[in-house]
Amino acid sequence: MTEILLGQVISFAGDPMTEGPGAARHITRGAVVVAHGRIVALGDAETLRAAHPEARVHDYGSALISAGFIDAHVHYPQTAIIASWGKRLIDWLNAYTFPEEMRFDDPVHAGEIAARYFDLALDHGTTTMCSYCTVHPESVDAYFSAAQVRGMRALGGKTCMDRNAPEGLRDSAQSAYDDSKRLLERWHQIDRLSYVITPRFSPTSTPEQLDALGALWAEHPACLMQTHLSEQVDEIAWVKSLFPAARDYLDTYEAFGLLGENGLYGHAIHLEPREVDRLTEVGAALVHCPTSNTFIGSGLFDMHGLAGRLRVGLATDTGGGSSFSMLRTMAAAYEVAQLRHHPLHPAQLWWLATGASAQALKIGDKVGNIAPGMEADLVVIDLASTPAIAQRVAHAGSFWEALFPTIMMGDDRAVAGVWVGGRKLR
């Protein structure tokens, strides 16, 4: 059946990070037509209703219809430990992350957490995510199975670690290669799923393992590869002690074939000039995780200096990040940019959580925007979801003034509807 969603509509004709807010398109009384899981048309509400008289109508009033949020870097196995108190990165891993991830050799536990994670993400309007799983293949099967049941576009992979982790979380260079290859062949491009080659970060992989994963990526260059880069200064010092011959942190990946256009490098806060130049030369993508960077005390991402040179996505970094909400993540990105003295416009923030993240994940031709032919992953946002937000919106002089309070103060109460693959899930 053809469906028509009525409300305000936001879409993008270009990249607001480089072209400015004028790249965004807003229709006050608009419509999105959906059929067979895809967007058929968008435009004026009355015009499209007249053109599709047989369609089932979903009138969301003055709520905002947008492409679904895309979370470009999460750790779904950390769902249960989100908002754990008082640790920096290395201590966080040892105190919270590794003990929790040890439990994911149990398929039942992995399945329960995967289901919980996806339901929480959908409650917050996130329709696509890219996740690190654990070292256990069972965790990957649970993740993709849960996404598949919900019809979601999801990306992820087995986390690989063969040193500086507890025994129950270490694999080997050979098993990392073998398990990753087997999982890739099982899940990659099945339904709406994509496998991502996933070394956690160079401190937890030996040179032999990094080399093996570089070889796997060379065999499957169309796949994405995700890892962490330059998150904290003490982490960088640790990397230097483990790889004394490396020119910098990025070189610990580059030397083993783990630098490329399909590479996703999370955090990337404390980059050296050579690293920025090399990332730019190969066309790699960075992922900004602002709630995590402030919660764990990592630093302030240089959006102004990097977004014009590289693809940059936005992410919650669940559970080092302190929220499942991409609205809260947009707010944190605004705050970080303010501290960097380069404020972000609401159009840029919204783009980061939708189209920019899709482009970082190389799926910008499928999701992340409302345009004919795109997959119908949509979120409907109530722009007056709480009394505090509503009273501010009542005095707004423009659409952007009306949207910004929801970016800064909104949460799951603002999510009035979620559509995945043309099906209404919330």
pLDDT of 88 = 76
Instruction: Single out the residue of 303, 359, 310 nearest to residue 335, CA to CA.
Output: 303
pLDDT of 349 = 98
Q: State the DSSP code for 80.
A: G
Rounded to whole angstroms, how far apart are CA atoms 331 and 329? 5
Q: What is the pTM of this model?
A: 0.97
Rounded to whole angstroms, how far apart are CA atoms 177 and 134? 14
Task: Write down all domains in the chain, each with its CATH number in brackets.
Answer: 3-68+368-424 (2.30.40.10), 69-360 (3.20.20.140)
**Beta carbons within 10 angstroms of residue 91's beta carbon:** 12
The tens place of each residue's pLDDT in the chain, 426 residues long, gives 999 999 999 999 999 999 999 999 999 999 999 999 999 999 999 999 999 999 999 999 999 999 999 999 999 999 999 998 877 778 878 888 999 999 999 999 999 999 999 999 999 999 999 999 999 999 999 999 999 999 999 999 999 999 999 999 999 999 999 999 999 999 999 999 999 999 999 999 999 999 999 999 999 999 999 999 999 999 999 999 999 999 999 999 999 999 999 999 999 999 999 999 999 999 999 999 999 999 989 999 999 999 999 999 999 999 988 999 999 999 999 999 999 999 999 999 999 999 999 999 999 999 999 999 999 999 999 999 999 999 999 999 999 999 999 999 999 999 999 999 999 999
Are the C-beta atoms of residues 255 and 246 closer than 8 Å to each other?
yes
Please name the residues in contact with 413: beta carbons below 8 A apart, sequence gap of 6 or more: 382, 385, 386
Strands 285-288 and 311-314: parallel
DSSP states along 232-272: -HHHHHHHHHH-TT-SSTTHHHHTTT--STTEEEEE--S--
pLDDT of 90 = 80
Please name the residues in contact with 186: beta carbons below 8 A apart, sequence gap of 6 or more: none
Rounded to whole angstroms, how far apart are CA atoms 82 and 100? 11
